[in-house]
Amino acid sequence: MGECCKRILLSASFGHREYIVLFLVMFQLVRVLGGYTPKNQTKIPAVFAFGDSIIDPGNNNHLKTLIKCNFPPYGKDFIGHQPTGRFSNGKIPTDLLVSGLGIKELLPPYLWVHLSPEDLLTGVSFASGACGYDPLTSVLVNVISMTEQLQLFGEYKERLKAIAGEERARYIVSESVYLVCTGTDDIANTYFTTPFRKTHFDIPSYVDFLVSKAKEFLRQLRQMGAKKIGFVGLPPIGCLPSQRTLGGGILRECEPRRNEAAQLFNARIQNAISELRNEESFRGAIVVYMGIYDILIDIIQRPYAYGFEETTRGCCGTGEIEVTLLCNSITAPTCPDDTKFVFWDSYHPTEKAYKIIADDMFRKYNQLLS
């Protein structure tokens, strides 16, 4: 201990205790002004993600599917300007989540061949671009279904035990945050683009079908040990550039039926989550509905308030339909400044838009993220 500290403590022992109070205040001030921040300020040991392309960091790279983006211009603004399989120009929401929680910089894909023990200890993503709650959605494009993602999680748990031992593995599984984010492809593609579901369902009944599948997934996830679950609602699907092109008419307006389906799903899944909380198996668990519809529609309707200029098309190519293979550096040059665009391609937001949405989620859902 330094001489200055010794003198203060010695004075305190003789009754001048105000000196030690002053010392502690000054020490705290130095910590703050000096930018002192622990590497991990959270008690959350890991994050696990299940869902679609919004949170797929590259699992689809390892599949025989056309739904991939591990080529330029994807990753243009990522670390090292590398296309990793993330469906954006840069980081995606799960990267921003683990970074914001102080866990690590990026959430890697579970199927990545270079996963380290530390990667496994601090969380991975099982998400697969273009999957959905409807089992048919994954089958149509040969990606990992939500059921198969749970199977991969079961495999992961065994790997975790081998690395960490049973006691620590049980702690990690129990105390981590689980993010569930999918459903857009069910409505945008499986229902509105293909004929397979329209003949059997109207929109309300199809939404009920999706909600029942989502509830089933949450029950299975809880049975596998998840206690802190964040369920991400659907965005304004009809305002995605691709959906404007396909259903918005010559003016490419937001397509109302797709937005109504998303809003209906969001309302009914919130009721379903309330029902789950009352089930015996969910006692002691936290399940939080995390809405993104309102923040994204506000960005789209008031872009200049958030520093954007373009909301109706993506940065890649014409921005009206290009996504995955159609968004490539050969046939689809990108816009000069993607920070002015809400969308990167015709389906996925830019990193800048994701950051705004992630910041909104941190503000609203600290019950789950603390």
Q: Choose between 367 and 288: higher pLDDT.
A: 288
- Site of tokens 């959350």: 44
Residue 181 pLDDT: 98
Q: What is the mean pLDDT of residues 5-9?
A: 35
Mean of per-residue pLDDT scores for the chain = 90
Q: What is the mean pLDDT of residues 299-309?
A: 98
Find all residues with CB under 8 Å of 343, minimum gap 6, and list them. 240, 241, 311, 313, 314, 315, 319, 349, 350, 353
Confidence of residue 36 (pLDDT cuts 50, 70, 90): very low
What is the dihedral sign for C-alpha 132, 137, 140, 145?
Answer: positive
pLDDT grade for 42, boundaries at 50, 70 and 90: low
Q: Please tell me the distance from the alpha carbon of residue 18 to that of residue 157, in angstroms, as a whole number.
A: 53
pTM of the model: 0.88
196 vs 125: CA distance, rounded Å: 29
234 backbone φψ class: left, alpha, beta (φ>0; ψ -120 to 50): beta
pLDDT at position 320 is: 98
Averaged over 28-46, what is the pLDDT? 49
127-140 tens-digit pLDDT: 999 999 999 999 99
Residue among 226, 347, 234, 354 at smallest CA distance from 285? 226
In single-letter form, the type of residue at position 228 comes to K
Q: What is the DSSP letter of 189?
A: I
**27 pLDDT higher than 80:** no
Structural domains present in the chain: 4-33 (no CATH), 40-364 (3.40.50.1110)
- Cα–Cα distances (Å) from 254 to 191, 257, 263, 309, in that order, read 17, 9, 14, 17
* For range 188-214, the mean pLDDT: 97
- pLDDT (tens digit per residue) in 241-285: 999 999 999 999 999 999 999 999 999 999 999 999 999 999 999
pLDDT score for 369: 75
Please tell me which residue, 357 or 9, carries the higher pLDDT value: 357
Q: What is the mean pLDDT of residues 335-356?
A: 98
pLDDT at 219 over 70: yes
pLDDT score at 366: 79
Please list the active-site residues: 53, 345, 348
